[in-house]
Structure 1
Amino acid sequence: MTAMEFRKPLLITLGAGCLVVLTAATIPAITSEPQFEEANQPTQSTDAASLPPDSDRLPPLRYLASNDGFLVVKPPNSGASDVEKKKRSGALVRYSVEIESGLKSRARALSEITDQVLQDRKHGWGSDGSRNFQRVANASTANIRVVLASPATVDSRCATVGLFTAGTFSCWDGSRAMINLDRWKEGAADFNSLDLYRRYVINHEVGHGLGFGHLSCPSAGALAPLMMQQTKTTGACKPNAWPYP
């Protein structure tokens, strides 16, 4: 699979004849700092293996309720400054990281992995200079919303665009990368690394949001194209989590 095949945006048809078209939009600026609630600290983290050793000493996460019932995880203050991000080349793509109520113990791992994936400058969607990903605290200003939710909620949201996820799969619902909680916890059969699968599923569903459709395994032993439906199978290919591996 050549890089050019990954780079070409597409109109995509996703299950049950649903056509999703990515269009550019003018995103209003945030005029005031949203008010966040602090997380109640869980008695134990169910994503402990994904967190750094000193995660218990990190500041508590804060959340903002979206207008459709999800909780937006406030972006961390660390990393590249807003000025540095604006200097990067490529079209600005704003994204939010969100969870369904009741999944706060999963929020930190989701937040950290999503940032690592979307802001990766070597293999990620912005590594070719065509896109500049910037995380936002207000879901209404996001071009792409990464949402971790229960299988039932994912099924419900995906059904609105004609997709049948069967309590098992994730989807792009037109504005959100809806990540199935069971897949987040368990991965998929052809992945021997849960961390690799999590990076794959975020990149894959965001890829649909960027306008890319499904691809097939090009040859036996090759890395699977990111936009292959690797949750179902990698076929004769090897699992891959990146658009530009």
Structure 2
Amino acid sequence: MACIMDGNGRWAQQRGLERTEGHSAGEAAITATVQAAHDMGIKWLTLFAFSTENWRRPQPEVDYLMRFNQRVIRNNAPRWRSMGMRMRYLGALDAPVPDFLREDIMQVEELTAANTGMTLTTAFNHGGRRDLVNAVRSLIGTGITAEDVNEKTLAQHMQLPDLPDVDLLIRTSGEHRLSNFLLWQMAYAEMYFSPVLWPDFRAEHLARAVASYHNRQRRYGTASTEALPEQRATTPLTLH
């Protein structure tokens, strides 16, 4: 499952607050969503925290978001670690990501690397197109011939090769677009667009999205009205 956490700025504007107040309020939605996903037995959750395009925002907001992401780690990582979660980051950690945030990210990845519970991936300084370009460059660097290039060989050169395809994408705030998020992994994702602004998103909203997913028929290009048994059996979205 993947989530585009959208609507923080509009949430703040509706209340006459600075945009940064919306980001701050979004932390409660993050913790609620992670906890609910864990309780539902979801094994893979990816949150879109900061895109390659977000660097174009006003510098004070960008600076705030760097500190905000550090705050989320320090406030929540110890509890998530104790719950057996593995925490990873998808995206480039080179400049202009500040040193203080890079160090915290690398530390939490190292401390939770051996955990076998839910994998919580944060897409930070992430761009789907850039990921594909980097994967192609890496693949070319192996000296592979054109005839040997296929989906499997390219997938092996993605930044996180074990990150599974997305079964369910949730985007809040009523927007209907991918925003350059997990383009390779999103090929057959079911999409759920919620009108709820991200700071107001809670466990009950997640449950509605998952229930909608379970009521859909996934045919993967086939004409059958019944999903193939192996497709039903492999879905990681299970409610307990």
Fold shared per TM-score above 0.5: no
Higher strand share: 1
Higher relative contact order (CA 8 A, sep 6+): 2
User: Is the radius of gyration larger for structure 1 or structure 2?
Assistant: 2
- Give the structure with the larger helix fraction: 2
Task: Output the TM-score relative to the length of structure 1.
Answer: 0.28
